[in-house]
């Protein structure tokens, strides 16, 4: 196994959550930047990162970095990198994405064309070929330029990691799976506590919570670009998937409840939960948020309610927030975690949050309001029977 540097892009403001996930997998983070976390691993780590990281958007293999202010510098430095080490002679290697921020090279189409030409020239020298058929497995190249610093990657993931494979149909304003997972990971919720989403929509938050509670790898039911690569052969992926299946906590029974006023939307949620393999862990019910009540003393509300920018109906949204504040105030020992882009949320809700965290729902800036309830008392420790030592 060789040492490989990977980069995991993520939504802005989720870098710390993702870095913790990477460390929990057993890998060392080398640098945390805006919207991306770098870490070191090996070929097996490519499989593990794609299967397990809940808040990453994709896993990029870093080929190299350098500074370039001219297209000639971009070409020559790209050509020097060891592309042949990763890309076989029959591979398809499109320059799939380029982005440039505060740099002298700003035309993404020109950047893509120059990088493609440079990679071809590099591969010609190393593979001793004059022409590449590009009929084999795909190795998409990504170029990221920030303040004239160029970083070149190969995408190991394919379609983005938030596409878990369970959400065939979504409601009108869905939340991304990666952000839903982050919302759950930013709470102290544990699998023995009740969680309710009174605006569950297509069920994404509760499905992500169920997968977290069951220790189910979010990428277990989908495929990845690197599964067809020479450096990550089929046996590595089989090993990673077998390991992930063995870690699912099938003995756990969760208490997750989702409400929505639209029965059609709830049918979508139930189907999504079935596709995710967690349908037995979530109870979906047609119910208005205003009817929320519970005998449980220490529950969680984690939710993505409607907001004006999302639903184009600001007055009804503001009335809803006022009603939500009244309803949730009766659950005075519960904790509430609510994401919204409405800047007047706290005033409408009738209470200041204990903590407010900026998050992004796609390109939309939102706030994640955290209202902490009291911690439940610790269960009394059971006296262990004395062991007979013979």
Q: pLDDT tens for residues 46-84?
A: 999 999 999 999 999 999 999 999 999 999 999 999 999
Q: Are residues 306 and 365 located together in one domain of the fold?
A: yes
Distance CA 330, CA 213 (A): 27
Q: What residues contact 154, with CB distance under 8 A and at least 6 apart?
A: 60, 61, 63, 86, 87, 139, 140, 141, 142
Residue 312 lies in a domain: yes
pLDDT at residue number 388: 39
Residue 389 has pLDDT above 50, yes or no: no
200-231 pLDDT per residue, tens: 999 999 999 999 999 999 999 999 999 999 99
Residue 387 has pLDDT above 80, yes or no: no
Q: Are residues 150 and 9 located together in one domain of the fold?
A: yes
Closest CA to 163 of 290, 54, 78, 82: 54
Ranges of beta strands (E only) in the chain are 4-9, 28-33, 36-41, 60-67, 95-101, 141-146, 149-155, 195-197, 256-260, 282-286, 300-303, 335-340, 355-361, 364-371
Residue 87 has pLDDT above 60, yes or no: yes
- Helix, strand, coil shares of the chain, percent, nearest 5, are 35, 25, 45
Q: Are 202 and 177 in contact (CB under 8 A)?
A: no
Confidence of residue 386 (pLDDT cuts 50, 70, 90): very low
pLDDT at residue number 384: 40
Residue 167 lies in a domain: no
Residue 249 has pLDDT above 80, yes or no: yes
Residue 182 lies in a domain: yes
CB neighbours of residue 6 within 10 Å: 24
pLDDT at residue number 274: 97
Residue 293 has pLDDT above 50, yes or no: yes
Closest CA to 173 of 201, 198, 207, 196: 201
**Dmax (CA) of the chain:** 79
Looking at residues 321-337, what average pLDDT do you find? 97
Q: Strand 60-67 relative to strand 149-155: parallel, antiparallel, unpaired?
A: antiparallel
Residue 382 has pLDDT above 70, yes or no: no
Q: Are residues 56 and 120 located together in one domain of the fold?
A: yes
Residue 384 lies in a domain: no
CA 89 to chain centre: 33
Q: Are residues 260 and 311 located together in one domain of the fold?
A: yes
Q: Are residues 149 and 188 located together in one domain of the fold?
A: no
Residue 169 lies in a domain: no
Q: Are 89 and 55 in contact (CB under 8 A)?
A: no
Q: Are residues 259 and 181 located together in one domain of the fold?
A: yes
Residue 383 has pLDDT above 50, yes or no: no
pLDDT at residue number 362: 79
pLDDT top residue among 189 and 389: 189
Query: What CATH number should be reported for the domain holding residue 266?
Result: 3.40.50.150
Q: Are residues 257 and 329 located together in one domain of the fold?
A: yes
Looking at residues 123-152, what average pLDDT do you find? 94
Instruction: Say how many domains are in the chain.
Output: 2
pLDDT at residue number 308: 61
Q: Are 212 and 184 in contact (CB under 8 A)?
A: yes
Percentage with pLDDT > 90 across the chain: 87
pLDDT at residue number 162: 95
Q: Are residues 183 and 134 located together in one domain of the fold?
A: no
Looking at residues 109-113, what average pLDDT do you find? 98
Q: Are residues 138 and 285 located together in one domain of the fold?
A: no
Q: Are 48 and 23 in contact (CB under 8 A)?
A: no
Q: Strand 4-9 relative to strand 36-41: parallel, antiparallel, unpaired?
A: antiparallel
Distance CA 266, CA 173 (A): 14
Residue 90 lies in a domain: yes
pLDDT at residue number 381: 53
Average predicted confidence (pLDDT) for the chain: 93
pLDDT at residue number 307: 81
Distance CA 222, CA 164 (A): 7
Domain that holds residue 48: 4-155
Distance CA 287, CA 273 (A): 18
Q: Are residues 91 and 200 located together in one domain of the fold?
A: no
Q: Are residues 195 and 115 located together in one domain of the fold?
A: no
Distance CA 155, CA 57 (A): 11
Q: Are residues 88 and 186 located together in one domain of the fold?
A: no
Query: What CATH number should be reported for the domain holding residue 115?
Result: 3.30.2130.30
End-to-end CA distance of the chain: 47
Closest CA to 270 of 190, 119, 167, 179: 167
Residue 162 lies in a domain: no
Residue 163 lies in a domain: no
Instruction: Give the angle subtended at the CA of 207 by the CAs of 206 and 211, to the nearest 5°.
Output: 115
């Amino acid at each position: 196994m060789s040492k490989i540097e990977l980069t995991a892009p993520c939504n802005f403001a989720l870098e710390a959550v993702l870095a913790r996930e990477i460390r929990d997998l057993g890998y060392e983070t080398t640098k945390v930047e805006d919207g991306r976390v770098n870490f070191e691993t090996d070929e097996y780590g490519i499989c593990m990162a794609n299967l397990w990281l809940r808040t990453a958007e994709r896993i990029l293999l870093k080929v190299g970095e350098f500074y370039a202010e001219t297209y000639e510098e971009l070409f020559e430095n790209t050509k020097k990198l060891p592309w042949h080490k990763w890309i076989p002679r029959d591979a398809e290697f499109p320059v799939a994405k380029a982005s440039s921020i505060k740099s002298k090279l700003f035309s993404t189409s020109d950047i893509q064309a120059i990088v493609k030409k440079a990679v071809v020239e590099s591969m010609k020298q190393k593979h001793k070929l004059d022409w590449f058929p590009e009929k084999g497995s795909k190795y998409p190249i990504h170029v990221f330029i920030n303040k004239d610093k160029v970083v070149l990657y190969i995408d190991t993931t394919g379609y983005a990691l938030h596409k878990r494979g369970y959400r065939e149909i979504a409601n009108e304003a869905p939340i991304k799976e990666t952000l839903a997972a982050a919302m759950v990971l930013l709470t102290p919720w544990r699998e023995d506590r009740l969680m309710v989403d009174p605006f569950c929509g297509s069920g994404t938050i509760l499905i992500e919570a169920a997968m977290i509670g069951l220790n189910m790898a979010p990428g277990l039911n989908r495929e990845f670009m690197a599964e067809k690569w020479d450096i990550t052969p089929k046996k590595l992926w089989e090993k990673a998937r077998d390991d992930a299946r063995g870690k699912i906590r099938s003995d756990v029974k969760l208490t997750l409840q989702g409400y929505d006023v639209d029965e059609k939307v709830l049918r979508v949620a139930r189907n999504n939960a079935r596709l995710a393999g967690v349908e037995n862990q979530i109870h979906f019910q047609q119910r208005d948020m205003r009817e929320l009540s519970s005998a449980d003393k220490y529950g969680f509300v984690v939710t993505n309610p409607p907001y004006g920018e999302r639903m184009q109906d600001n007055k009804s949204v503001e009335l809803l927030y006022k009603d939500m504040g009244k309803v949730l105030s009766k659950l005075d020992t519960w904790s509430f975690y609510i994401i919204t882009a409405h800047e007047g949320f706290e005033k409408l809700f009738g209470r200041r949050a204990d903590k407010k965290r900026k998050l992004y729902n796609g390109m939309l800036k939102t706030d994640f309001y955290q209202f902490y309830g009291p911690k439940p008392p610790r269960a009394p420790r059971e006296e262990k029977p004395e062991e007979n030592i013979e």
